[in-house]
């Protein structure tokens, strides 16, 4: 169950970062990559990610079995704290930027 929670949370973090990149592209078109990166990785980044995941968890996604979506809050808290300590958001964000640059030929 903990492994499923980790996969779900990491997937949601990836989704949140991609969503924020798109928002920054729309709002801050002319800014360089480093400026956009700073806007995304502000001091509230983990709080915002946690809110995003909890919001997504409260919705019923017909493509994800309920036993995966309905993991308990204590599992969520422990796994989320562990991921915060392990996951380097800057590396993930730079990797996403790099993939998107390759996709559009920059």
Mean predicted lDDT score pLDDT of the chain: 78
Tokens describing residue 38: 């700073």
DSSP collapsed to 3 states, 5-68 = HHHHHHHHHHHHHHHHHHHHHHHCCCCCHHHHHHHHCCCCHHHHHHHHHHHHHHCCCCCCCHHH
Ranges of each domain in the chain? 2-104
Confidence band for 73, pLDDT divided at 50, 70 and 90:
low
What is residue 74's predicted lDDT score, i.e. its pLDDT?
A: 66
Answer whether residue 72 shows pLDDT above 80: no
Residue with the two structure tokens 């990785």: 41
Confidence band for 18, pLDDT divided at 50, 70 and 90:
confident
Answer whether residue 92 shows pLDDT above 70: yes
Residues with Cβ within 8 Å of 89's Cβ and at least 6 positions away in sequence, in order, are: 13, 17, 41, 45
pLDDT digits (tens, 9 = 90+) for 24-70: 777 766 566 666 677 777 778 888 888 888 887 777 778 877 776 66
Question: Is residue 41 within 8 Å of 17, Cβ to Cβ?
Answer: no
């Amino acid at each position: 169950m903990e492994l499923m929670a980790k996969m779900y949370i990491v997937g949601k973090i990836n989704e949140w970062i991609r969503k924020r990149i798109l928002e920054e592209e729309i709002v801050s078109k002319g800014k360089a990559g480093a400026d956009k990166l700073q806007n995304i990785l502000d001091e509230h980044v983990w709080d915002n990610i946690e809110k995003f995941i909890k919001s997504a968890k409260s919705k019923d996604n017909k493509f994800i079995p309920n036993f995966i979506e309905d993991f308990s809050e204590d599992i969520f808290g422990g796994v989320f704290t562990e991921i915060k300590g392990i996951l380097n958001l800057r590396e993930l964000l730079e990797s996403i930027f790099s993939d998107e640059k390759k996709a559009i030929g920059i």
